Structure 1
Amino acid sequence: MGTMGMRAAIALVVVGVTVAALAGCSGEVSDVERAEAKVSAKEDAVANAQDAFSAASDEFCDAAEGYIEALDRYGDVLEDTAPTVGDVRTAGADLAEPREDSLDGAQAAVDAQADLASAQQQLAEARAELAAAEAGPTGTPAPVDTTMPSTSALAPAATVDRVEQAESDFADASSDVTDDTPLSDASELFNSAAVALEMAWLRLFADAGCLADEQRQQAEAAVRAYTTALQQELATAGYYTGAADGIYGPLTVQAVESLQQAHGLPVTGTVDKATAEALQAELIALGGAAAQDAVTSTAAVQQTLKLTGFWDGPVDGVWTPELTEAVAALQVELGVEPTGTVDAATIAAFENAISGLQQATPTPSPSTSDG
């Protein structure tokens, strides 16, 4: 036999042995083994999807924090600009990129959550297939828990709606400002819209699980409780017609201004001691539940200061000179004008400080609960 013939014969033998070996291997892999391998692969896929979701969640929290900081800086520009707001309109462009980063980050987190849910579903199906393979064609498969983990929205729909409304209100306020608009005419409405937008994003920031420390969440809730209580009292007195949503926005500012005008007080849109007393006097005059609730706003201020270590007095709803001093001390700490009054700028600075504390600890993944 020639060299070519020998090579051909050897090749045929090798192919035959390989085919036989492969056939033997195929026959040795049982349905159970194949199902086990599939389950293992799906478990790896779930682990990878969970990692991707955690990473996307962290990126969203970082982007949202950057946007909140940009909004706060934008408010600072308003305070420093005079006599027109042309430079404020230019500075508004600084919000475009962080806003898009935040929205993109939110969408990426939602998509990653959907991928995780899909991977979990496939794993449940693979485990059911394994149970069937282990039972055999005539057996009864062992029960398999196919309950899927909760994949509710990253944040409540109401929180998302508030952000969308605040974004729209801010855009409207921006469009009303021209290069020739005096700052004195534009700043109040524009600043309150910016504050409302910042606070709405802070609410989303908290609801998405970006705040790790329970005490910071309690403090943030206390600030919102104060604003909500104020809105409810203003509504009872007939000055406020919006929702009691805890956001110190344009409607709240306008209601406070109307109250101040009615009592001949300086029209500032902020709640100082005289304004609080005027509101409480009206509620007491109304009697009943209104009188009982007259101390709610002041008590909320006291509770907020107590949580942050600036008030060691009683939470009794009585505004005293000592409470004014405590508010001023908090304002000094936050870097805002120490007026001793509670206004939108103070609330925004406080909530931004809560957000800033996040830099000191690792950012967790957003919670998937609706709470």
Structure 2
Amino acid sequence: MKTVRKGAAGQLAAAVACVAIAAVGLTGCSDSVSEVDRAEAQVAAKERALADAQDAFADASGAFCEASRDYIDALDRYGDVLHDTAPTVGDVRVAGADLVKPRDDAFDGAEAAVEAQHDVVVAEQELAEAQAALAAAQAGPTGTPSVTAPAETPTPAPLVPAATVDRVEQADADFETAQDAVTDQTPLADASELFNSAVVALELAWLRLFADAGCLTDDQRVAAEAAVSAYTYALQQDLATAGYYAGTVDGISGPLTVQAIEDLQAANGLPVTGTVDKATAAALQAELVAVGGAAAQESLASTAAVQQTLKLVGYWDGPVDGVWTDALTEALQAFQVELGVEPTGTVDAATIAAFEQAIAELQAAAAEPTAEPTAEPTEPASE
């Protein structure tokens, strides 16, 4: 009996050891744990690891979007210092210093998101290897596995286009250069102009990065694209009127649009950045006024504003989406005929004045009280 009990105790100890070994690596204990069992356990573990990596990537992406939003807001507030106040050189430098922390947070968030994406790729490869091992175990020594392990870790697709990243890095370097160039002896006008052009370029670069990184909802993306299209179309029209743009006015910013902006800046002695800042916009408006261009009236220069105005006066039933079409040109020409101005199909100075007069008349008509109808006297009913 003692021998039997001793043998039972030994079997129990071996079983416990086998369970312990299986829990940490499923190695050994070949009598109770098969190759397939070990492979299945590895697949399950790698699936959990991949799910954890994907969750971490989602968290890192969300943190990056939040940090980017804060940085863009900070850049926008910085622009307000230059636009809405009479800043000193000290104001310009202090406002620039206030951007340091949100900038660092945004760049740190970007690095964390890239690292988390890499972890997902590694976890995907390890899962594929585990699945291949399971397929081999299930096929047996003479069978052919149905899954082949990847040869090497694939390079993850970039979170955003390389051109977008390059533009952010270049804009960031240009902004740092602008900061370093401003001292207490720098004339205020020079400091404001230098910083303004740099910060506008930097904000636009980060806005593109923000959109390309998937930080916008579908509705926000549609709205942003419509707004950008309307703005770009109006800008192209303005640049063409001023003689700087000879491409197609289509609301799509491309090399010709950037070149036109740079030519405008060079002609006016401004920093050549290819982006429209306060000084560039003022120079463009001044040239438009000089040539009698329609875009001197900024509120009516955009396609969306034209569409909305024509809709108010009953000449446009299409969408207000900032896209200029042949139908919009025809609607504008029809309204110009009604206004008694030359039907050019473009928003010129005469049309703007007529627009304003028509809108004023509509507003005045809407404000007039409606007279109550006078009830007709009724004859008394005959008895």
Is the TM value for this pair above 0.5? yes
1:197 aligns with 2:202: yes
The letter of the residue matching 1:222 is: S
1:254 aligns with 2:265: yes
1:162 aligns with 2:167: yes
Judged with a 3 Å threshold, the aligned counterparts in structure 2 of structure 1 residues 217 and 76 are, in CA distance, closer, same or farther, namely closer
Distance in 1 (alpha carbons) for counterparts of 2:9 and 2:192 = 85
Distance in 2 (alpha carbons) for counterparts of 1:73 and 1:82 = 14
Distance in 2 (alpha carbons) for counterparts of 1:49 and 1:267 = 46
Match of 2:341 in 1: none
Residue of 138, 141, 144 corresponding to 1:140: 144
Judged with a 3 Å threshold, the aligned counterparts in structure 2 of structure 1 residues 29 and 236 are, in CA distance, closer, same or farther, namely same
Kindly state the Cα deviation for residue 168 of structure 1 after the two structures are TM-superposed: 1.7
Match of 1:72 in 2: 76
The letter of the residue matching 2:160 is: A
Distance in 1 (alpha carbons) for counterparts of 2:67 and 2:169 = 17
Tell me, yes or no, if the aligned pair for 1:192 and 1:248 is still in contact at 8 Å: no
Tell me, yes or no, if the aligned pair for 1:228 and 1:247 is still in contact at 8 Å: no
Kindly state the Cα deviation for residue 304 of structure 1 after the two structures are TM-superposed: 8.3
Kindly state the Cα deviation for residue 102 of structure 1 after the two structures are TM-superposed: 0.4
Residue of 123, 126, 147 corresponding to 2:127: 123
Bigger RCO (CA 8 Å, 6+ sep): 1
The letter of the residue matching 1:244 is: P
The letter of the residue matching 1:120 is: E
Correspondences of 1:1-371 after superposition (within 5 Å): 15-22=9-16, 26=29, 27-82=31-86, 84-143=88-147, 151-212=156-217, 213=219, 214-219=221-226, 221-222=228-229, 225-226=232-233, 229=236, 244=255, 251=262, 254-255=265-266, 257=268, 269-272=282-285, 275=288, 278=291, 301-302=302-303, 315-316=328-329, 318-320=346-348
- Provide TM-score, normalisation by structure 1: 0.64
Tell me, yes or no, if the aligned pair for 2:244 and 2:261 is still in contact at 8 Å: no
Tell me, yes or no, if the aligned pair for 2:230 and 2:303 is still in contact at 8 Å: no
Tell me, yes or no, if the aligned pair for 2:239 and 2:261 is still in contact at 8 Å: no
Tell me, yes or no, if the aligned pair for 2:236 and 2:245 is still in contact at 8 Å: no
Kindly state the Cα deviation for residue 173 of structure 1 after the two structures are TM-superposed: 2.0
Judged with a 3 Å threshold, the aligned counterparts in structure 2 of structure 1 residues 275 and 37 are, in CA distance, closer, same or farther, namely same
Greater radius of gyration (CA): 2
Distance in 2 (alpha carbons) for counterparts of 1:217 and 1:150 = 31
1:255-288 Cα deviation digits (max 9, x unpaired)? 47379xxxxxx9964543962895989xxxxxxx
Percent identity (aligned): 48
- Provide TM-score, normalisation by structure 2: 0.62
Distance in 1 (alpha carbons) for counterparts of 2:256 and 2:125 = 37
Structure 2 unaligned regions, length at least 5? 20-28, 247-253, 271-278, 309-318, 330-344, 356-383
Judged with a 3 Å threshold, the aligned counterparts in structure 2 of structure 1 residues 15 and 193 are, in CA distance, closer, same or farther, namely same
Structure 1 unaligned regions, length at least 5? 1-5, 238-242, 260-265, 282-297, 327-371
Distance in 2 (alpha carbons) for counterparts of 1:104 and 1:84 = 31
